Amino acid sequence: MSDLKLIVLDNFKEVGEKIVNHLGVDDCLIDFKASRFSNGEGKVNITGTVRGRDIFILSDVGNYGITYKMHGLDHRMSPDDHFQDIKRVISAISGQADKITIVMPLLYQSRQHRKKGKESLDCALALQELERLGVNHIVTMDCHDPNVCNAIPNLPFENFYPTNTILEDYINNENTDDLLVISPDAGAMDRARYYAEMLGVDVGLFYKRRDLSKVVNGKNPIVEHMYLGSSIEGKNILVVDDMIASGSSMLDVGKKLKEQGANEVTFIATFSLFTEGIEEFDKAYKAGLFDKLYTTNLTYIPKEYQEKEWFHTVDCSKRLAGIISTLHKHESIKPINNSKEKIMKLLEEKNNNKVKELHK
C-alpha cells in the first residue's frame, strides 16, 4: 500500500493517528500546513509528495474546539470553515493525485438535505462542489439522509454505519437482558429496527407532535412525545438516533420512559453535538432520567464531557482504517458491512456465560 496517502486535517488529528496505527503503513501521512492571514483568510500548503498517489483526506467538520486569530480575536472554527479547508487541500493537490477520497464521518450540512419552500439545499450543493473540484470518492458515516447522494449520481458515495462497532462495545459492557429498542421519532425508525433485529428484541416508537404555528430556532417546537409500542415496564431500553444536537428531545423521551416504568435507559447516538452544552444531561442523569450515553469519536467531544460518569465513547478508528484499506485495495465492501455473525456470536457467548454462572 505504498501509494496510499492520508491527509489528516487538524480537526481529526487524534482519531487520524489511531487510524494510521491500525493501517500499519509506514510513512502514509502527507505533511501540509494550514495557515491564516490576520484578517481570517486561510491557505493550505502541501509539502509532501502527492503525484500519482491514492489520497484520503480526513476531516471532522463538527470540531468546534479549534480556534484561529482574526483581527486579533479568537475565532472558533465552524463547519463552514472546516469545509473551506477541505477545498483548500484539494486545490493545493492541483490535480496531481491519482485519486482523491474525502472521508467526512459527519457529513457537512447533512441536516439541510432537502428543500422546503425558498430554502437553500446546502448538502447537495456541497457535494456537487466537491465533484467539480475533482474528488473521486466520498465516504461518510451514518448520514442523516443517504438519499442526498442523488445530487451526485456519477460520484461514488459510501455511507457506512458504526452500528455494529457500537453494539459490540455495548454487549461487552452492559446487561443485555430484557432489552427493548426505542426510536425517538419516526425518522430514526429504520436505525432502531436494525438494532432490534441484530439483538433479537422488540422495537417501539415515539411520535413527535409539533406546533406547526410556531418556529423556534428554525424548527416547529415539539408539543408532546407519544409512545407507540409494547410495554416498557421493567425493560432495559436503548434509545437510538444518528445525532444528538441540543438533546432536549432525547431527554424528554428518557423522562417518559422512566415514568412508564423502564429499568435502565441508555441513549445511543453516532454523533453527540451538545449544541446547548451538557448541563441539562448532567441534571437529567442526577434526576435518574437516563443511565448512560453511548456515542462515537467520529466528531469532536470535549474531554471534560468524556469524563462524565454517564458518558461512554466508542472508538471507531479501527473501522475507519478497515474502510480506507478496503477502498484502497479495490476490494468488496460487503464484508465490512456484514458482521451480524460476530454480533450473534457475542450474544451467544454472553448468554452461555450467564448459564454457567447460574449453575455454579
What is the model's pLDDT at position 212? 67
How does pLDDT run across 45-78, given as a tens digit for each residue?
999 999 999 999 999 999 999 999 999 999 999 9
- Whether 115 shows a pLDDT value over 90: the answer reads no
Model pTM greater than 0.95? no
Q: Domains in the chain, ordered, with CATH?
A: 4-160+317-329 (3.40.50.2020), 163-297 (3.40.50.2020)
- Judge whether 270 and 162 are in contact, CB under 8 Å: yes
DSSP secondary structure letters along 273-314: --TT-SHHHHHHHHTTS-SEEEEESSS---HHHHTSTTEEEE
What is the model's pLDDT at position 26? 83
What is the model's pLDDT at position 331? 92
- Whether 208 shows a pLDDT value over 80: the answer reads no
The larger pLDDT score, comparing residue 284 to residue 226, is at 284
What is the model's pLDDT at position 358? 64
Per-residue pLDDT averaged across 83-89, rounded? 97
Q: How confident is the model at residue 211 (pLDDT cuts 50, 70, 90)?
A: low
- The Cα angle at residue 260 between residues 257 and 264, in degrees rounded to 5: 50
Of 32-36, 205-209, 212-216, 288-292, the range with the lowest mean pLDDT is 212-216
Which of 79, 104, 70 has the alpha carbon at shortest distance from 90? 104
Rounded CA-CA distance 242/127 in Å is 20
Q: How confident is the model at residue 219 (pLDDT cuts 50, 70, 90)?
A: low
Of 173-187, 217-231, 262-276, the range with the lowest mean pLDDT is 217-231
The larger pLDDT score, comparing residue 23 to residue 1, is at 23
Ranges of H-type helices in the chain? 13-23, 79-93, 122-132, 163-173, 189-199, 248-259, 279-286, 303-306, 317-328, 334-337, 340-358
Per-residue pLDDT averaged across 163-187, rounded? 92
**Encoded amino acid at 352, one letter:** N
Per-residue pLDDT averaged across 83-88, rounded? 97
Rounded CA-CA distance 168/173 in Å is 9
How does pLDDT run across 274-288, given as a tens digit for each residue?
999 999 999 999 999
- Whether 348 shows a pLDDT value over 90: the answer reads no
Which of 175, 237, 177, 234 has the alpha carbon at shortest distance from 205? 237
How does pLDDT run across 239-256, given as a tens digit for each residue?
999 999 999 889 999 999
- Whether 1 shows a pLDDT value over 90: the answer reads no
The larger pLDDT score, comparing residue 60 to residue 228, is at 60
How does pLDDT run across 337-347, given as a tens digit for each residue?
766 777 888 88
- Residue identified by cell 451480524 is 340
In percent, the amount of the chain with pLDDT more than 70 equals: 94
- Whether 13 shows a pLDDT value over 90: the answer reads yes
What is the model's pLDDT at position 114? 83
Q: How confident is the model at residue 228 (pLDDT cuts 50, 70, 90)?
A: confident
What integer best gives the mean pLDDT of the chain? 91
